Amino acid sequence: MAISVKEKRINDQQSLLLEGTYAVAYAVKLCRVKVITVYPITPSSAIAERLAEMVGDEELDAKYIKVESEHSAMASLIGASHVGVRTFTATSSHGLAYMHETLHWASGARLPIVMSNTNRSLGSPWSILAEQTDSLSQRDTGWIQFYCESNQEIFDTIIQSYRIAERVYIPAMINMDAFFSTHVLENIVIPSQEMVDSYLPEFKPKIKIDLNKPSAFGGVAPGDSYFEFKYKMEEDMLKAVDVAVKADNEFEEIFGRKYGIINCYLCEDAETILIMTGTAAGTGRVVIDNMRKKGKKVGLMKIRLFRPFPSRAIIDVLKNKIKIAVIDRNISRGVGGIFAQEIRAAFHNTKYHPPIFGFVAGLGGKDITPEQIENVLNYTIESDYPDREAYWLDIDV
């Protein structure tokens, strides 16, 4: 991994060839983040390294706390965010798991912290390669979660996330695949600071530490008030779906790029829809193209926003489809892939009940190949109903 290939200037100032980690760092810089804490972990470490350089070189005016653990990384941001400044951290896998307690605290305290997470397998046994079980294990911590496909999407989603998080006072986690994103060079369009500033105003929270109005934050909430706070938070979390849609539209107005909270490819006339997330969605599109050539009415839906779960948007697309296949690079032990479960749950109280086939693939960074994806679609088309929660690729199918 030679440093020289991580960043390469091309033609003009607006475009850089960046690895996913560096894309994150550049986005953070343009968001004028004030406090950064990163505890390095493979494969997100280069974020820590590049941000350290940026702060060291005074390219970025921020405090960078070189903490001793991910728990402290998130904790420090909780502190900084209470003061009312924009914050950022990056982690992955075990690091995210170690943050678990503080993730709850950050969302409960309604601090719009933004974090990038590199989806990486959890031990044991050790693996440092791609898998989404780490972030999906944190789905109940009250964080907004995005799953990104390309480095440009990662870059743009970081910027969007601050706008969303700071409007609803809920922290946001931007997920990307280990190595497939972090260590792959892509040409990234880097907007000017003015453009970003016009999209992302200075962070001015309504409630923050104020010496003139000494208050306690997060004290024991007696009686029903805890319940009421949680209700209020859920209201705002649900609101975040629309806020995210709006933020994406507004982003398009300034930057000319838009991602959608879900992204559909050839879905309109499709009978069978394949659902994928992250970098594997790109492979999925190639397969869709190939199968369309063979006359199969298939389409692909990429889910970008996972929390809050955009059920309505998803059902709107899927409601009249004949069959649905979901490939999950993650697993909730005992029920199968997590996206598949979420989609099944979304359908449950509707009148639409297409068969939903769940496939578990690519755990521990195992390749998800076009052949496998085609097998998944063919299996789904040929079978009436799934006979199990999840099929393991190459084992069951």
Collect all residues with Cβ–Cβ distance below 8 Å to 61 and sequence separation of at least 6.
Answer: 32, 34
Residue from the set 9, 204, 206, 348 that interacts with other proteins by CB under 8 A: 206
Half-sphere exposure of residue 226: CA atoms within 13 angstroms, side-chain side: 6
* Alpha-carbon torsion, ordered 181, 185, 189, 194, to 10 deg: 70
Here's the x/- map for other proteins, 104-143, by CB under 8 A: it reads as -x---xx---------------------------------
Applying CB under 8 A, does 326 fall inside the site for other proteins? no
Specify the residue, 18 or 144, whose C-beta has the smaller distance to other proteins. Answer: 144
Q: Give the number of other CB atoms < 10 A from CB of residue 359.
A: 31
Applying CB under 8 A, does 210 fall inside the site for other proteins? yes
CB of residue 19 to other proteins, shortest distance in Å: 27
Burial level of 317, CB count in 10 A (0-12/13-18/19+)? middle
Applying CB under 8 A, does 350 fall inside the site for other proteins? no
Q: What is the 3-state secondary structure (H, E, C) of 303-327?
A: ECEEECCCHHHHHHHHCCCCEEEEE
Applying CB under 8 A, does 240 fall inside the site for other proteins? no
Residue from the set 214, 256, 295, 334 that interacts with other proteins by CB under 8 A: 214
Helix axis angle, 20-30 relative to 45-56, nearest 10°?
Answer: 40
Applying CB under 8 A, does 78 fall inside the site for other proteins? yes
Answer yes or no: are the C-beta atoms of 338 and 145 closer than 8 Å: no
Residue from the set 233, 264, 315, 317 that interacts with other proteins by CB under 8 A: 233
CB of residue 315 to other proteins, shortest distance in Å: 26
Which position has the token pair 């296949």? Answer: 325
Burial 239-255 (b: 16+ CB within 10 A, else e): ebbebbbebbeebeeeb
The amino acid at 303? I
Specify the residue, 32 or 285, whose C-beta has the smaller distance to other proteins. Answer: 32
Applying CB under 8 A, does 218 fall inside the site for other proteins? yes
CB of residue 31 to other proteins, shortest distance in Å: 14
| Span near other proteins by CB under 8 A; candidates 57-65, 128-136, 246-254, 267-275 | 57-65
Q: Give the number of other CB atoms < 10 A from CB of residue 201.
A: 10
DSSP 8-state symbol, 249: H
Q: Give the number of other CB atoms < 10 A from CB of residue 292.
A: 15
Please give the helix or strand (H or E) that residue 392 lies within, else none: strand 391-392
Residue from the set 53, 59, 66, 394 that interacts with other proteins by CB under 8 A: 66
CB of residue 69 to other proteins, shortest distance in Å: 6
The two structure tokens encoding residue 262: 């879900």
Decide: helix, strand or coil at residue 69.
coil
Residue from the set 10, 14, 59, 69 that interacts with other proteins by CB under 8 A: 69
Number of residues that bind other proteins (CB under 8 A): 53
Applying CB under 8 A, does 151 fall inside the site for other proteins? no
CB of residue 58 to other proteins, shortest distance in Å: 14
Applying CB under 8 A, does 154 fall inside the site for other proteins? no
The amino acid at 116? S
The two structure tokens encoding residue 374: 């085609």
Applying CB under 8 A, does 239 fall inside the site for other proteins? no
CB of residue 175 to other proteins, shortest distance in Å: 23
Applying CB under 8 A, does 58 fall inside the site for other proteins? no
* d(C-alpha 143, C-alpha 140), whole Å: 8
CB of residue 103 to other proteins, shortest distance in Å: 11
Specify the residue, 66 or 388, whose C-beta has the smaller distance to other proteins. Answer: 66
CB of residue 208 to other proteins, shortest distance in Å: 9
Here's the x/- map for other proteins, 166-205, by CB under 8 A: it reads as ---x------------------------------------
* d(C-alpha 19, C-alpha 21), whole Å: 5
Binding site for other proteins (CB under 8 A): 34-35, 37, 61-63, 65-69, 71-73, 75-85, 87, 101-102, 105, 109-110, 169, 206-207, 209-211, 214-222, 225, 228-229, 231-233, 236
